[in-house]
Chains A and B, each alone.
Chain A
Amino acid sequence: MAERKKYVIIVDASKCIDCKACMIACKVENNVQEGFWRNWIGTLGGENGSLRTEFQPGQCMQCDDPSCVAACPVQATYKQDNGLVVIDPEKCIGCGNCVTGCPYNARYRNPLKRIADKCDFCEDRLNRGKEPACVVTCPTKTRIFGDMNDPQSQVAQLLKTQKLVKIAAPHINTRPNIYYYEGTKLLDWAVAPMLPGNINRAPEFWKSTSS
């Protein structure tokens, strides 16, 4: 397996019980400050008193065409060989362009470090031979993590056998690396990313450049 790794997560949202274990596990593992989250559980329903019927975990999609990387003026955020989109804290100037540049709202500005921050599939844990905190702690094992380039991995098997979908932003396909089981109902939460200086540009701007 000389091939480079490519980490992905496959989510079976029908298993999510909305217990928030992944959110707290992430918060502790990555020391995420009060008021900020690197991952979340989306809910179908709940507006105007309606029933909440489906729960769907999400986080940074580690996109192959990341608009956050494009948005970074100093190349502090970049895509690694193993597929992870990461931030070099020495280069980041905290401008926040990548925060609005992400169609999934996966980034925030770390209020202590004053630089961009987001999920990196717990790279620190991966270096220690452990899976991401959100994956490990889940009671129903809603998220399945692995290297899709390793044919023996569960994710590679699932990619072959399961019908999976991706959640793409309306105007730009950043080629995300989180897959959801077909039938996931929350598919419309990605938004058009915005960049300073061009937020007033028509959505066609994104369409025309992403083809």
Chain B
Amino acid sequence: MPARINNLISRRKFLQLSGALAAATAINNPCRVLYALTRDSGKKNVRDIREAFSACDMCFNKCGLIAQVENGVIKKLDPNPKSLKSKGMLCARGNAGVKQLYDPDRLKYPLLRKGARGEGKWQRLTWDQALDHAAEQFDKIGKQYTRCGFLFMAGTDMQSTFVHQFAEVYGSYNIISHESNCLLSRNRAFLDTYGVMPTPDVLNCKYIILPGANRFEALVTPDSMDLMTAKGNGCKLVTLDPRFTKTAALSHEWYPIKPGTDMAFFLAIAHVIIKEELYDNKFIKEKTFGFEELKDHVRQYTPAWAAKETDIPADDIIRIAREMAAAAPAAMVYPGRRSSDYEDSTQIRRSYAIVNALLGNWDKKGGLIVPAKLKVGSIHMEAPFYEDNPDNRVDAGMAQMMFDEEGSFKHTRDAVIEGKPYPIKGWMTYKTNPMQTGANRNKTIEMINHLDFMMSVDIVMSDTAYMADLVLPAPSYLERQDPLSVFVASSTCSGVIIRDPVIPAMFESKPVFWIVKELAKRLDLGEHFEFTMDDFRKAQLKDIPEVAKALEKDGVYNLAGPNYGIYEGKPFKTQSKKIELYSARYKDNGIEPMPVYKKPAMVPENHFRIVVGRNAYVTQSGSTNNALLWELQKENSLWIHPKPASILGIKDGENLEVKSSVGKVNIKARITRETRPDTVYMDTGYGVLSKGLTKIFGKGACISEILEDRADIISGNMAMHETFVKVRKA
């Protein structure tokens, strides 16, 4: 005890002050004292903790983790520093993984719907009963409506590949992923410009524009960490976002851009770079196609013009263009991820891709790179041929250039409702929740009401599972053996990560791999699934045996660079074999070969544009009911600027009605300058219909209830920023 403490207040004096009270506490409630006395302090005891590697599954990133297991219970998830993708981090959601595992709301056994759809009445089945019933439905629908009459939708998951394989051997082309509610516009744009989807080398960049990409909240490893490291190394960060996100807060400059005008900004940046000849002439000549056309095209897009469109001053646009060019090639327009925003989102992202090309950052340190990816094998299966099947996917031709392997949720849903071009009557979902993530929830319900049979495999009773006829319980990621997963981790490397069960699967939960195998057996397709997960992994590692050892030792395998200049002299996988500033392929398909700016629709009077976004502890709808994360945010709120709030007489925390052309919700107001006066925002993942999500049922509002279901014309990606809402006191 240092002397200073005794000077501060003598213990004796202190006891005089507080002793009486303390004694009273002890006497009045002896239990608490006894509890304290009987407890083993345990401090110096060495705990018997077993460590096990795994890969996180609280979002899509698959960060490396090391589970701490004591007496068969997972006590804690620590980051795995060996993963060069996640670099020794685990976010709030990753840490909350223990509560996804030990969640009283988990599905425990197969359930068959009893009452009306969405009524929440269920009958417990044995697995045999459930699988027999499902197989019967698969068989019946296949016979009556062709095999394509069954739709499959699997989210981002290491076992989704088996759902796809099952769909193929069953005979349906109608497989959709979650991605058409997310990032397809970006992929389309960059693929069509570069012939490949490049990875941003954030770590080594010196100037980054983040257009609507909220990387300090919508976490992507390693980009989110690299962004901070780069900033520490002098990289300038410029954020364009109608919201003052945490990314905006930590950037050097923030511009609350008028939503839907990003293309105007980047066409003006291109205008300045070309007009002032700030580009690398050699790079443009050697590596790009259509520079002269672009030069003519962007002449009209002056900074003064763009200033009026974007609300960003012309001088700033000119300065940013010059600064970027000066930092090039270690300068970039960050490609972003979720791009399900506007009907011309592919063209908007094309403008990002084109500015990157003008910066000459392709294959360069601090630019857009394509790290060498490991060649992982697979077990391929010959899908049977079903003669009566239609010629094409149900959503074929509904977008100008759809990704066949991803499909479009929006267009497929429309097709199911219309029953055209052919009827779809069955739906299997795995680890995806379009009831929450697909704009216009009422339409999803309408779609489901057109089905004869819907089956959901999930961990909890998500809103999508809640609408199903048969709900099958899956184990969490900490209880499963998965195929190996390949990742690309920016400049550092690419790699492979492994996920083995840390503890045995709880309750009656079964992995989807087992489920499709059992279904295949019952449908006389068992021959296609006569392999175990170990067999599958062996096939994956056939050509890369060195990986196995690293996975055992470190839980991850990293393939280090070099990742710059590796494509020098190689043709691009585009029609012109170059970076396509001008796309002749687009022209042939009736699409503008260069992005042509179209003014976004004006926000009507007394309305707001509603935008979609993330925070760092909500993964769409997958984490809002997690007991730990729920403590951070128990419901969502509507962000509204003080100016319109005062006109509408809205006070902070007041209950509001938010209404669009497709639905209305009630939600509390959060009055904040962190959004533009013409733009409102709410987090995704609340206002659930499922009574199985006990922590958040009845809390907050569901954004998909009010988002109109528009689509990106080129990719068929959902366009979620095209909705205007009216706000009033409820």
A133 near B: Cβ within 8 Å? Answer: yes
Q: Which of A17, A53, A136 is the one whose CB lies under 8 Å from B228?
A: A17
Which residue of B31, B75, B95, B96 has the most chain A CB atoms within 10 A of its CB atom? B95
Please list 23 pairs of residues, one from A and one from B, whose beta carbons are closer than 8 Å in the complex, sorted by A's number. Answer: A17-B228, A24-B96, A25-B90, A49-B641, A49-B671, A49-B674, A50-B672, A51-B673, A52-B244, A73-B14, A74-B22, A90-B37, A93-B33, A115-B35, A124-B43, A127-B44, A136-B78, A136-B79, A136-B88, A137-B89, A139-B91, A196-B18, A210-B4
Say whether, besides A17-B616, A49-B671, A92 and B36 are in contact (CB < 8 Å): yes
| Contact A18–B246 (Cβ < 8 Å) | yes
Instruction: Give the interface size bracket for A toward B.
Output: 35 or more
Say whether, besides A93-B25, A139-B225, A29 and B76 are in contact (CB < 8 Å): yes
Chain A, 104-154, CB within 8 A of any chain B CB: 113-115, 123-124, 127-128, 130, 133, 136-140
B residues near A (Cβ < 8 Å) are: 1-2, 4-5, 7-9, 11, 14-15, 17-19, 21-22, 25-26, 29, 31-33, 35-37, 39, 41, 43-44, 46-47, 49, 75-79, 88-96, 98, 216-217, 219, 221, 224-225, 228-229, 232, 244, 246, 249-250, 616-617, 627-629, 631-632, 641-642, 652, 671-674
Instruction: Give the contact stretch, choosing among A63-71, A157-165, A182-190.
Output: A63-71
Question: Chain A residue with minimal CB distance to B629?
Answer: A24
Q: Which of A19, A124, A209 is the one whose CB lies under 8 Å from B616?
A: A19
Q: Which of A17, A94, A128, A175 is the one whose CB lies under 8 Å from B224?
A: A17
Helix, strand, loop or mixed for chain A's interface?
A: loop
A102 near B: Cβ within 8 Å? Answer: no
| Contact A49–B673 (Cβ < 8 Å) | yes
Tell me the total A-B contact number using a CB cutoff of 8 A: 198
Residues of A close to B41: CB separation below 8 A: 88-90
| Contact B89–A115 (Cβ < 8 Å) | no
Complex alpha-carbon distance, A51 and B77, angstroms = 33
| Contact A20–B632 (Cβ < 8 Å) | yes
| Contact B95–A28 (Cβ < 8 Å) | yes
Interface string of A22-52 (1 = CB under 8 A from B): 0111011100001100000000000001111
Residues of B close to A175: CB separation below 8 A: 4
* Smallest CB separation, B225 vs chain A (Å): 5
* Smallest CB separation, B523 vs chain A (Å): 43
| Contact A70–B5 (Cβ < 8 Å) | yes
Question: Chain B residue with minimal CB distance to A31?
Answer: B75
| Contact B14–A195 (Cβ < 8 Å) | yes
Question: Chain B residue with minimal CB distance to A205?
Answer: B9
Chain A, 160-186, CB within 8 A of any chain B CB: 172, 175
Complex alpha-carbon distance, A172 and B75, angstroms = 38
Residues of A close to B96: CB separation below 8 A: 24, 28
Complex alpha-carbon distance, A134 and B474, angstroms = 31
Question: Chain B residue with minimal CB distance to A34?
Answer: B631
* Beyond known contacts A28-B75, A137-B95: 13 more, CB 8 A cutoff: A17-B616, A19-B219, A21-B94, A23-B632, A24-B96, A25-B90, A34-B627, A70-B9, A73-B22, A79-B1, A79-B2, A86-B43, A127-B44
Which residue of A28, A51, A136 has the most chain B CB atoms within 10 A of its CB atom? A28
Residues of B close to A89: CB separation below 8 A: 36, 39, 41
